[in-house]
Structure 1
């Protein structure tokens, strides 16, 4: 009996030590799991999201093009503050200009400009001199220049090749006299000088809105490709002078247009079998006739050979089809009537088209350049009443004030596109919490927001060149942030998939941990 008691006494401390060790092991396991394992798992599985001003992005408001004020300078050798004030008030109330937001600001001519006025003998020569002074400042805005009366016919105003609009001193005196006496409704001035002046400004400002009504346009971009294709069945039929004619015309236009966007001009020759297409010979016209349906078939034949896949930049296509000598001359007919330009447009070619060439004429290059202008958003004046005179184009085929209006419109478009992209990004990030937002994305978004604000301030201050640069940077950064590949890493990872992954991982571990917690609780409860 005594030996049995001694045996039990000796085994009790051993069982207690074993139980204590098991409790300690359970506590150690619990501490490691909850203190180290869970934090490590949490930090390694948490989606990285750099801070973005999502509320600011979602509240961005796009700009209306017509709400942006045009600043027009009135340049003269004298103090024109009173004249400008009178002119501004009445122009704003005129029927033709009431819908436009503009302001006229008096500005003195500098000594070099005064010297040009005194030394030249025609408006054309004065405009050339002013253009040389402002060659590097194409985007400075419109300026009204008062010139001596003998340069301009009575009742006429002139639009220069650069950013200058010309009126005579006689017109200025009549403006001041008529509005000072408030008798302008009974004067001839209202029907001649003032009407011409209103028509000129209205025509210029109206081109600002023609882009919205245009059917085929190139999308806004910093880089464009212009591809001239000569389609023929015989190499000898593509005259070298025809190729050089096109390249020279487009090169001059590209050089001046670089202030807005870069144009990459290239040409190619495409061979199309034996050159015989389904054209019908007309004895009445002594020519081959190609109707609209067959023109579409010809376009479908040419389209795979134009090389659309060579660049991601918007591409303007202009195809010159030189018919086979056995099918020449060839003309395009629409509803039994010939098309004057012998060409058709293709919406799939970003405003480009196809033109049939039966001979070498300079008008061919002019037509292609005119259509490129329209596709880019450069539109000609609509001088229906012949109330003003616009100087002829130089070799570039585009006036500086046309580029100025185009740049204003594109600045607003770039800003609006950047803000729409940023708003879409903020909505996407708010709706889907699994998207990773890296520091690079954050930097792009912050830069884009800063450039949007800077461009808005520059527009309000009349600094179009700076506004355009900032707007382009804002749009580029917004596009890069939105289409960054890192945003797609966890974009299509549903929430319920997490349970399918984590339950098999934590359930086998969690049950022993819960039982161990129960044992630990009971152990300390007994003590």
Structure 2
């Protein structure tokens, strides 16, 4: 009887052990593992992967170049003649031109009859157009006495002026010059990267604070404020100025008795740049910054001129690649044309290039106070639209490839919304380009690029950007190994128990 009771007790204890093991296994596998799986699963919002894979780059000549031909006479025959010349031109054969005939209204005809110069006509036509950037160029046919024989006038705005005796081959040649200047491979890379916002920092470096004449600052303010206002059609410019005191101002310049001035060779000017660079405020913001330094020499070292070898530098300035196309200019007198040079270099840094009139085939009107023509901004807008779209496309494709390669990166709904918005804006910009609405295309392209970059550089993506896959083993093995071994042994005991039965 005692033996039977001991056997029944041992069997009951064994059954309780098997039951406890089964309960632990069920709780671990049925509750613990699913909870762990759901809490450690990487959150990934769905992205429009098909649209991303189908995105392709655009090229400059894929845009339609709109031309409005304005004349007081019958325009259809003249438009057809111009179209034939454009089709035969080798330089322009890859571009898509849309030429629309336009008959001058009575107000415009009155302007041609009442004004006495192309300059006055250009101002009047711009006032009629509402001072807005147009989506193309306008060719205006004016009476012969306004223009020299065979010449074309390029206005300050979006108007080209031709006479009734003009050869349309000359018009095609000028259009080819304009497009090649803004589409040439070397010109595609400006010193300042494309951005929605730029900083312009003007620095007055002096050894005596009283040496900064008020007219220095006022001239810069007048020139750059007008340029900034005009350039706002493309991007915003934040212009600021500062005065930097550099001690006694004595630098390694050599006095030349022949020139009766101090000479600063280009090699020695590096020492001056090294002194100034830490004080320029390079960390003003994350936006691209253009630096221009105006150095007023100490009175004991004045006048001072920059020499390259044995010849003086005409502009008395030197450019610095580290300053995003900016540079340093030595000013010995208030009358020096310093503001014009700084503005010219800013134009180049932003990608506004002047036409080369080597054959003297056209006459260009002088710049107004803004220092930039409307047609230059129009061509810059055309190019930047393509650049923004291509940059957004590259960024989105890079983001898609990154997410495919690294499965640990979290894709939040906010990032998904940014990507979706960017894709939609790219499509909207492409449609606007086909419809000839350049300004709308440019606005959409800027939004597309901004959303793409914001999504790509989101901190939540960067947090796990360098998280290797094998790091999971280092985290989960110490967690599951102490639990896994007893569970495996329990499974073996349960299996043997039911196998004996």
Tell me if the contact between 2:190 and 2:350 (Cα under 8 Å) persists in the aligned partners: no
- 1:9 to 1:96, Cα distance in 2 relative to 1, 3 A: closer
Shift of residue 330, structure 1, vs aligned partner: 1.3
2:304 corresponds to which residue? 330
Shift of residue 314, structure 1, vs aligned partner: 1.1
2:419 to 437, 442, 445: 445
- 1:41 to 1:362, Cα distance in 2 relative to 1, 3 A: same
Matched, 1:484 2:458: yes
1:53 corresponds to which residue? 48
1:468 to 431, 434, 442: 442
- 1:526 to 1:203, Cα distance in 2 relative to 1, 3 A: same
- 1:112 to 1:434, Cα distance in 2 relative to 1, 3 A: farther
Tell me if the contact between 1:351 and 1:375 (Cα under 8 Å) persists in the aligned partners: yes
Shift of residue 412, structure 1, vs aligned partner: 0.9
Shift of residue 219, structure 1, vs aligned partner: 1.1
CA distance in 2, matches of 1:22, 1:428: 50
Tell me if the contact between 2:60 and 2:383 (Cα under 8 Å) persists in the aligned partners: yes
In the TM superposition, 1:200-215 aligns within 5 A as: 200-210=174-184, 212-213=186-187
Matched, 1:72 2:67: yes
In the TM superposition, 1:188-207 aligns within 5 A as: 193-207=167-181
1:292 corresponds to which residue? 266
Shift of residue 395, structure 1, vs aligned partner: 0.8
Matched, 1:147 2:142: yes
Taking structure 1 as the reference length, the TM-score comes to: 0.89
2:479 corresponds to which residue? 505
1:237 corresponds to which residue? 211
Tell me if the contact between 1:156 and 1:387 (Cα under 8 Å) persists in the aligned partners: yes
Describe the superposition over 1:373-399 as per-residue Cα deviations: whole angstroms up to 9, x where unpaired.
Answer: 111111112111222111111111110
CA distance in 1, matches of 2:300, 2:494: 103
Shift of residue 418, structure 1, vs aligned partner: 0.9
CA distance in 1, matches of 2:185, 2:273: 26
1:86 to 78, 81, 84: 81
CA distance in 1, matches of 2:466, 2:105: 63
Describe the superposition over 1:164-222 as per-residue Cα deviations: whole angstroms up to 9, x where unpaired.
Answer: 11122344xxxxxxxxxxxxxxxxxxxxx334323322222222125734786111111
- 1:94 to 1:210, Cα distance in 2 relative to 1, 3 A: closer
Matched, 1:165 2:139: no
Taking structure 2 as the reference length, the TM-score comes to: 0.93
Tell me if the contact between 1:254 and 1:262 (Cα under 8 Å) persists in the aligned partners: yes
Describe the superposition over 1:130-157 as per-residue Cα deviations: whole angstroms up to 9, x where unpaired.
Answer: 2123345214221112223333333222
1:29 corresponds to which residue? 24
- 1:128 to 1:502, Cα distance in 2 relative to 1, 3 A: same
Tell me if the contact between 2:69 and 2:139 (Cα under 8 Å) persists in the aligned partners: yes
Cα RMSD, aligned residues only: 2.3
In the TM superposition, 1:23-422 aligns within 5 A as: 23-98=18-93, 100-109=95-104, 112-171=107-166, 193-210=167-184, 212-213=186-187, 217-361=191-335, 363-422=337-396
Where 1:207 maps in the other structure, the secondary structure is helix
CA distance in 1, matches of 2:213, 2:188: 34
CA distance in 2, matches of 1:491, 1:295: 43
1:177 corresponds to which residue? none
- 1:37 to 1:206, Cα distance in 2 relative to 1, 3 A: same
Higher alpha-carbon deviation: 403-412 or 274-283: 274-283
Shift of residue 248, structure 1, vs aligned partner: 0.6
- 1:9 to 1:136, Cα distance in 2 relative to 1, 3 A: farther
Describe the superposition over 1:198-251 as per-residue Cα deviations: whole angstroms up to 9, x where unpaired.
Answer: 332222222212573478611111111111111111222221112211111111
**How many matched pairs?**
501
CA distance in 1, matches of 2:486, 2:412: 38
CA distance in 2, matches of 1:282, 1:29: 96
Greater C-alpha Rg: 1
Higher alpha-carbon deviation: 7-16 or 71-80: 7-16
CA distance in 2, matches of 1:59, 1:144: 39
Long gaps (5+) in structure 2? none
- 1:274 to 1:33, Cα distance in 2 relative to 1, 3 A: same
Shift of residue 402, structure 1, vs aligned partner: 0.3
Shift of residue 508, structure 1, vs aligned partner: 2.7
Higher alpha-carbon deviation: 50-59 or 206-215: 206-215
CA distance in 2, matches of 1:79, 1:411: 35
CA distance in 2, matches of 1:80, 1:120: 22
Shift of residue 295, structure 1, vs aligned partner: 1.2
- 1:112 to 1:40, Cα distance in 2 relative to 1, 3 A: farther
Shift of residue 112, structure 1, vs aligned partner: 4.8
